[in-house]
Amino acid sequence: MSESRIESDGLGEIPVDDERYWGAQTQRALENFPHVKPRMPLEVCHAYGHIKKAAARAHVSLGDLDPEEAGAIVQACDEVVAGELDDQFPLLVWQSGSGTQTNMNVNEVVANRANELLGSPRGSKEPIHPNDDVNRGQSSNDSFVTAMHIAAYTTIINLTIPQVEGLVAAIEDKALEWQNVVKSGRTHLQDATPLTVGQEWQAWADSLRDAVDNLRQANDGLLPLALGGTAVGSGLNTTKEFVTAAIANVAEQTGFPFTEAKNHFVANATVDRLVRAHSALKDLAVTLFKVTQDLRWLGSGPATGLGELRFPANEPGSSIMPGKVNPSQAEVMLMMCAEVIGADTTVSISGAEGNFQLNVMRPVVIYHVLESAKLLGSGAGAMRTKFVEGMELNLTKIDDYVGRSAMLVTALAPTIGYDLATRIAHKSVEEDIPLRDAAIELGVASELYDRTIDPVKLTTPDER
């Protein structure tokens, strides 16, 4: 058993494991909220490291904090950002809706680590106090939502968008490779007029690109930060000079153009911009779901399904059926998308719970935003490397479908009329004979048929 020390807060004293950097309020949270996981995302704690460092640097520049003490705070914050103190952030998502416990967890860890660097024991609160110094000029109400914005923005910009863009590039490579391969189109899950494989794949790429553009725009909405509003948005116990300097420091430290929120009352009272960011993640999930389902269906079979695509064999597909290959990566992507789409309901309901000057559902919002961003990013990366890049075409199957499609008759309709074209299509399907034979039997000249029914020409608009 490790030894404990006595920490204190406004409610009195409480023992804390002496190996831990956290203090009284973190310990109380551990005891008061003994619920099931998930843990507060470490990305939030790392973002808080940037905030506390930026604040300390701002206070020094304004002459409000001793440079040596600030230096110790900065070093402790650097360790937080680098993940060196990750085991010191044990709290779960289920805590005060403002995120107060996580803010104090960071304040206590930074203060105790800074004091240790300065030669003082943990729990001494001397010379660095978690509230008076580390939290100086801040409130949980403005700093936690600031950490949410930083964590969400950086995760989406560093992980989600690059991984999805990589998937888009892989799909476009296939579109270019197969741009001249003609295939049968399908609408209502029934035969339709032809297109090229390249056109089909480029459509998937462009739909995903639209979703990424939408996500990027929503993510840019996270750049304005609430820091400076303190308790209710009025900025009590801080100064404009501090806010300007601290946010500039955040931007410098992260390398991203974070700015001050135009209206701190809005920034404190709502999580609307995070709701919009998650909505864009949900929209991306919807598009990924559609693309993934198309790929999955096109590779179904191989003997009794559509069988146009051959999937890479990443692992045995069955414990009983030898040689079976399943679209496992597609199934994983579909489950991830379903998770994100479902999470959007939680985020939306939580965003509506902004009573007066404070939203009190923040922890669950940031948990889902980060989880969705990471799911879609990692899922897209795996889809690219373990699924899309290894796909091949079954040209025999594709050519056979084109040759058997009765919907090629659509090209004849402007010349012979819709009604005769319909009779030809029905005759071909019902008698299971080639479309050309059905057309000739019903009076279409073979020369007209051969001149008109060219599958390659049918994949682009007529030229006048």
Question: 99: closest CA among 359, 370, 369, 371?
Answer: 359
DSSP labels, 18-76: TT----HHHHHHHHH---PPPBPPHHHHHHHHHHHHHHHHHHHHTT-S-HHHHHHHHHH
What number of residues does the chain have? 464
Q: What pairing do the DSSP bridges indicate for beta strands 309-310 and 392-393?
A: antiparallel
Burial of residue 317 (CB within 10 Å: 0-12, 13-18, 19+) is: middle
Instruction: Give yes or no: 318 in active site.
Output: yes
Catalytic residue among 8, 35, 234, 318: 318
Residues 6+ apart with CB under 8 A from 402: 182, 183, 184, 194, 408, 455
Torsion angles phi and psi, residue 368, rounded to 5: -70, -35
Q: What pairing do the DSSP bridges indicate for beta strands 12-17 and 392-393?
A: unpaired
Contact between 458 and 413 (Cβ < 8 Å): no
Token pair listed for 212:
């990424």
Catalytic residue among 188, 207, 234, 405: 188
- Give buried/exposed letters for 19-30 (b at 16+ CB in 10 A, else e): ebbbbbbbbbbb
CB neighbourhood size of 87 (10 A): 10
For residue 14, the SS3 value is: strand
- Token look-up 């559509």 returns 306
- 194 pairs with which residues across the strands? 184
Q: What pairing do the DSSP bridges indicate for beta strands 182-187 and 392-393?
A: unpaired
Instruction: Give yes or no: 188 in active site.
Output: yes
Q: Which residues are catalytic?
A: 188, 318
